[in-house]
Copies of this chain bind each other. A is one copy, B any other.
Amino acid sequence: MSDRILGVLGGMGPLASAEFMRRLTLLTPAERDQDHVPALLVSDPRVPDRTAARLHGGEDPLPALVRGIRVLEAAGCGAIAIPCNTAHGWYDGMTAATALPIIHIVDAAEADLLRQGVRPGRIGLMGTAGTLAMRLYQDRLESRGWECMVPTPEEMASHVSPAIAQVKANDITGAYAPLAEIAGRLMARGATAVVLGCTEIPLGIDAGPVLPFPVTDTIAALARASIAWAKA
């Protein structure tokens, strides 16, 4: 039985957070309730849109993120997981605001690639326009031997961004086809695996046939990293 409480800063979107809690449970070896990881989820969908803040001068989400961190601190959490890739654009601001370690979703994604036997090289990266523009994956992973190929601006506008919005509006099944199409194109351009670097994307991808190539689901990857922390 673990007494380390995982803090989950979520609601971005709320379905991804719920799926994170589900994966956290299903990926934990357990025989009974008491074997599972204690966790506190702040599901605050009111956090201002991260991509809008970065690309279009929208409201800064950092104060809302820090407000959630304060709740997790007050409840005695020992670490924080954030099942939203784009929110990691404010990682430095958040770590400056708390003494708690924040499990970085890009590191979790890299660990998941390696777990699947994918070696450093050329990978496909799908994410929000904000995540791609901030180079969250590129700047963290390229020094470690990874090269990230991203969809074209036209593919983002026609396929990826609308599909992410569909998931946030609860249209999961409708998001499958456009997301699977772009993942397939990235493989055709030479990727050895595709990172689903927005937590709405695996929700859409899970709604249809399994993709015939290695894929890193950043919800599951963050859940694995969180369980490793809880059981350490």
> Across the interface, do A33 and B71 meet the contact criterion of CB distance under 8 Å?
no
Q: How far is the CB of A37 from chain B (nearest CB, A)?
A: 8
Is the pair B21, A165 in contact by a Cβ cutoff of 8 Å? no
One complex includes copies of this chain to the number of 2
Contact B32 A21 (CB under 8 A): no
Chain A, 152-178, contact with B by CB distance < 8 Å: what is the 0/1 string? 000000000000010011100000000
Interface residue from B22, B42, B168 paired with A33 (Cβ < 8 Å): B168
Q: A21-B18, A25-B15 are in contact. Are A41 and B43 (CB under 8 A)?
A: yes
Size bin of chain A's contact surface = 35 or more
- The reply on A228 being an interface residue by CB < 8 A is no
Contact between B169 and A31, CB atoms less than 8 A apart: yes
Tell me whether A38 is interfacial, beta carbon within 8 Å. Answer: yes
* A40 nearest in chain B by CB position: B42
The 3 closest A-B pairs by CB, nearest first: A18-B21, A36-B45, A18-B22
